[in-house]
Amino acid sequence: MSSVNQNPIPIYLISPSGAIAPDAPVQSAIAQLEQAGFSPRLDRAALRMRQRFAGSDTDRAAAFARAASQDARIVMITRGGYGMTRLLPLLDYRALARSGKQWVGLSDFTAFQLAMLARARAVTWAGPALMDDFAIEPDQELDDITLGTFCEAMDGRLEAVGFRCSGASGVEARGTLWGGNLSIVCSLLGTPYFPKVDGGILFLEDVNEHPYRIERMLTQLLHAGVLDRQKAILCGYFNRYKLSPNDRGFDMPAVLKWLRAQTRTPIITGLPFGHASPKLTLPHGAQVALATEGRTCYLILDEHHSHHDH
Amino acid sequence: MSSVNQNPIPIYLISPSGAIAPDAPVQSAIAQLEQAGFSPRLDRAALRMRQRFAGSDTDRAAAFARAASQDARIVMITRGGYGMTRLLPLLDYRALARSGKQWVGLSDFTAFQLAMLARARAVTWAGPALMDDFAIEPDQELDDITLGTFCEAMDGRLEAVGFRCSGASGVEARGTLWGGNLSIVCSLLGTPYFPKVDGGILFLEDVNEHPYRIERMLTQLLHAGVLDRQKAILCGYFNRYKLSPNDRGFDMPAVLKWLRAQTRTPIITGLPFGHASPKLTLPHGAQVALATEGRTCYLILDEHHSHHDH
């Protein structure tokens, strides 16, 4: 997978949220993408800086239109951070959906993905970001699973993924796969950018958030009726938080135990998605089938959500 | 104000959220309340601990019913923290409203105050908490304004407050005063506990939240249409956050500047409310009048929201 492809696949890179730090290893991340068989190109505003953002709101919103009109089929974000929700009223979701691009990213980009589903019923891709997954040391290897599922997803060959799970066995469900970063999912509740998904499969991850904040957000989704309306909740990585002595045993397992007592929707942990490796590339907004058998969870993706359909 | 009252006013103390740490100066806080002319009594579960909470959900919910049925007219929380949203489906809001108690608190207690307004159209009091405002060293003095407005509010004598403000002069508005802790306000959006207030005066504060999080939350209220539907936004303290070099000038003034460009609702800063002193005691859910004259903001409270009406 790390051999140079004779026909490299173009990727257009945009920065819709936080600025890339001046000393960040952008060039080595781009080199890694090239080595993996891609031909990456940075949007002209991708390295801008304005306060903590990658350029002004207008700059960042305009990059979406530029991405939609250029040739590369894949549009990937450089990084997350904060800033996407500011842009939500500025985007033409139907035009962006009509462009047929495969929009890829995660974290703050969840806001775009939810809005694309809510406003244009469009499928996007929850997957890697340039600086999160490709900015590694030259002597390091890219994660095989991350790169492999990304490549397969992008060219329509990803039909199913399986992973070690726990929390619910014997679950069988079919529905819209949606979600992403929990903080962002909750920050769209009550707005026109929150998709109405009944009978869906909601996947969630978060980083740097104490379990009490995670629980408060899950409680919001619970009280809003969102959790009860899903067929399954899939938990990705919840990591990089710090417990305190005052928690006295309150931790992520305690959060999940409490939540399971509040909803009948099965809560399955172990999804390889979030701010860590390996990271699957998943079709956000697509119909999928889910099955758990013992400690393995399978997600079966419908092939017609590949780019060939757009 | 610090002299002992011959007829001390009873206050019943409950802990609906976080546990009081075993080494916290509860007794000296109670002594301060006594010295200020009150007769405080701790609910029997107020010092419980279960994980990070002041007892189980059942314990903490039951304390509301005990508070409603005892004699003291004033019910104050010991502290905030986290845990109130877990209790929201367990409370009988109409019964609690009928009790005629003056419920006082802030921070995580905002969830109760919003739910009381949403479910029972009840007025509660945004004001001090035992461990936030009365746990001071024996040789220290309680803050005069905090204590003075609290005492006046509790016995129905608080008719108006004035404070130094900025951001909008010549504003005149009349409407429901509501809000509190921004994180909690946002964490109820989309749930049945979020009150529908049109033409209101929304006050907000938060603590330990980076301006990007504050902006993300304000953006949620903006996109949900909440800000545009208010007659004024009153900003209390936003404090104890830490900026980073990557913010490059993004700070609270930048957040407010951006927000003012997004909504026509006047945004007024300087409200003495939140996680600092002085702290006003304000009738949450009551009709109030607001006027700014130059750099002074007046809030005129309707007298009929004192306890005499209940």
Among A136, A154, A172, which residue terminates a domain?
Answer: A154
Q: Buried b / exposed e across B169-205, counting CB within 10 Å, b at 16+? A: eebebbbbbbbbbbbbbbbbbbbebbbebeebbbbbb
Of B52, B89, B216, the CB nearest to A250: B52
The catalytic residue positions of A are: 107, 205, 275
Of B183, B216, B248, the CB nearest to A85: B216
d(CA B209, CA B275): 12
Q: Scanning every residue of chain A, which has its alpha carbon at the shortest distance from the alpha carbon of B89?
A: A223
The pLDDT tens digits of the residues spanning B94-145 come to: 999 999 999 999 999 999 999 999 999 999 999 999 999 999 877 788 999 9
Residue at A4 is within a domain: no
Residue B178: left if φ>0, alpha if ψ -120 to 50, beta else—which one?
beta
**A19 interaction partners in chain B (CB closer than 8 Å):** 246, 248
CB within 8 Å of B105: residues ≥ 6 apart: B76, B77, B80, B112, B113, B125, B126, B127, B128, B129
Question: Per the residue annotation, which of B17, B205, B215, B305 is the catalytic one?
Answer: B205
Judge if B140 and B225 occupy the same domain.
Answer: no
- H-state helical runs in chain A: 26-35, 57-69, 84-87, 93-98, 110-120, 144-154, 182-187, 211-223, 252-262
The single-letter code of the amino acid at B174 is R
Q: With bands split at pLDDT 50, 70 and 90, how would you rate the model's confidence at A304?
A: low
Q: With bands split at pLDDT 50, 70 and 90, how would you rate the model's confidence at B304?
A: low
Residue at A51 is within a domain: yes
Residue at B307 is within a domain: no
**For residue A54, pLDDT beyond 60:** yes
* Annotation marks residue B15 as catalytic: no
d(CA A177, CA A203): 7
d(CA A111, CA A120): 14
Residue at B1 is within a domain: no
- What percent of chain A is predicted at pLDDT more than 90? 93
Neighbours of B252 (CB within 10 A): 17
Of A19, A51, A217, the CB nearest to B254: A51
Q: Scanning every residue of chain A, which has its alpha carbon at the shortest distance from the alpha carbon of B84?
A: A216
Judge if B13 and B147 occupy the same domain.
Answer: yes
**B217 interaction partners in chain A (CB closer than 8 Å):** 187
Give the number of domains in chain A.
Answer: 2
ipTM higher than threshold 0.90: yes
d(CA A251, CA A296): 24
Residue at A108 is within a domain: yes
User: What pLDDT score was predicted for residue A308?
Assistant: 42
Distance (Å) from the C-alpha of residue B280 to the closest C-alpha of chain A? 27
User: What pLDDT score was predicted for residue A303?
Assistant: 54
Q: What is the DSSP letter of B167?
A: S
Q: Scanning every residue of chain A, which has its alpha carbon at the shortest distance from the alpha carbon of B86?
A: A219
Judge if A179 and A92 occupy the same domain.
Answer: no
**A86 interaction partners in chain B (CB closer than 8 Å):** 215, 219, 258
Across the interface, whether the CB atoms of A246 and B19 are under 8 A apart is answered yes
User: What pLDDT score was predicted for residue B308?
Assistant: 42
Distance (Å) from the C-alpha of residue A36 to the closest C-alpha of chain B? 31
Q: Scanning every residue of chain A, which has its alpha carbon at the shortest distance from the alpha carbon of B210?
A: A82
d(CA A29, CA A26): 5
CATH code of B56's domain = 3.40.50.10740
Judge if B124 and B33 occupy the same domain.
Answer: yes
User: What pLDDT score was predicted for residue B5?
Assistant: 53
Q: With bands split at pLDDT 50, 70 and 90, how would you rate the model's confidence at A137?
A: confident
CB within 8 Å of B77: residues ≥ 6 apart: B13, B14, B15, B16, B17, B104, B105, B109, B129, B130
Across the interface, whether the CB atoms of A85 and B187 are under 8 A apart is answered no
Residue at A3 is within a domain: no
d(CA A213, CA A229): 22
Q: With bands split at pLDDT 50, 70 and 90, how would you rate the model's confidence at A5?
A: low
Across the interface, whether the CB atoms of A220 and B192 are under 8 A apart is answered no
Return the percent helix, strand and coil in chain A, to nearest 5: 35, 25, 40
Give the residue, B169 or B119, on which the prediction is more confident.
B119
Judge if A100 and A171 occupy the same domain.
Answer: no
User: What pLDDT score was predicted for residue A302?
Assistant: 77
Distance (Å) from the C-alpha of residue B226 to the closest C-alpha of chain A? 9
The pLDDT tens digits of the residues spanning A214-270 come to: 999 999 999 999 999 999 999 999 999 999 999 999 999 999 999 999 999 999 999
| Three-class DSSP category at B204 | strand
Among A154, A169, A186, which residue terminates a domain?
Answer: A154
Whether pTM exceeds 0.90: yes
Give the residue, B215 or B305, on which the prediction is more confident.
B215
Judge if B144 and B63 occupy the same domain.
Answer: yes
Judge if B229 and B149 occupy the same domain.
Answer: no
Judge if B137 and B56 occupy the same domain.
Answer: yes
User: What pLDDT score was predicted for residue A306?
Assistant: 47
In 3D, which of A279, A298, A219, A213 has the Cα closest to residue A247? A213
* Annotation marks residue B107 as catalytic: yes
Length of chain A: 310
User: What pLDDT score was predicted for residue B303?
Assistant: 54
d(CA B246, CA B262): 24
Boundaries of domain holding B45:
9-154
User: What pLDDT score was predicted for residue B147?
Assistant: 97
CB contacts < 8 A, A to B, total 98
Residue at B2 is within a domain: no
Across the interface, whether the CB atoms of A223 and B191 are under 8 A apart is answered yes
Across the interface, whether the CB atoms of B89 and A212 are under 8 A apart is answered no
Distance (Å) from the C-alpha of residue A212 to the closest C-alpha of chain B? 7
pLDDT (average), residues B173-190:
98
Distance (Å) from the C-alpha of residue A11 to the closest C-alpha of chain B? 27
Of B53, B226, B249, the CB nearest to A51: B249
Q: Scanning every residue of chain A, which has its alpha carbon at the shortest distance from the alpha carbon of B82?
A: A212
Judge if B146 and B172 occupy the same domain.
Answer: no
pLDDT (average), residues A270-290:
98
Residue A64 dihedral angles phi and psi, to the nearest 5°: -65, -45
User: What pLDDT score was predicted for residue A62?
Assistant: 98
User: What pLDDT score was predicted for residue B11?
Assistant: 98
Judge if B133 and B226 occupy the same domain.
Answer: no
d(CA B212, CA B143): 31
Judge if B243 and B259 occupy the same domain.
Answer: yes
The single-letter code of the amino acid at A163 is F
CATH code of B167's domain = 3.50.30.60
Residue at B249 is within a domain: yes
Among A154, A184, A219, which residue terminates a domain?
Answer: A154
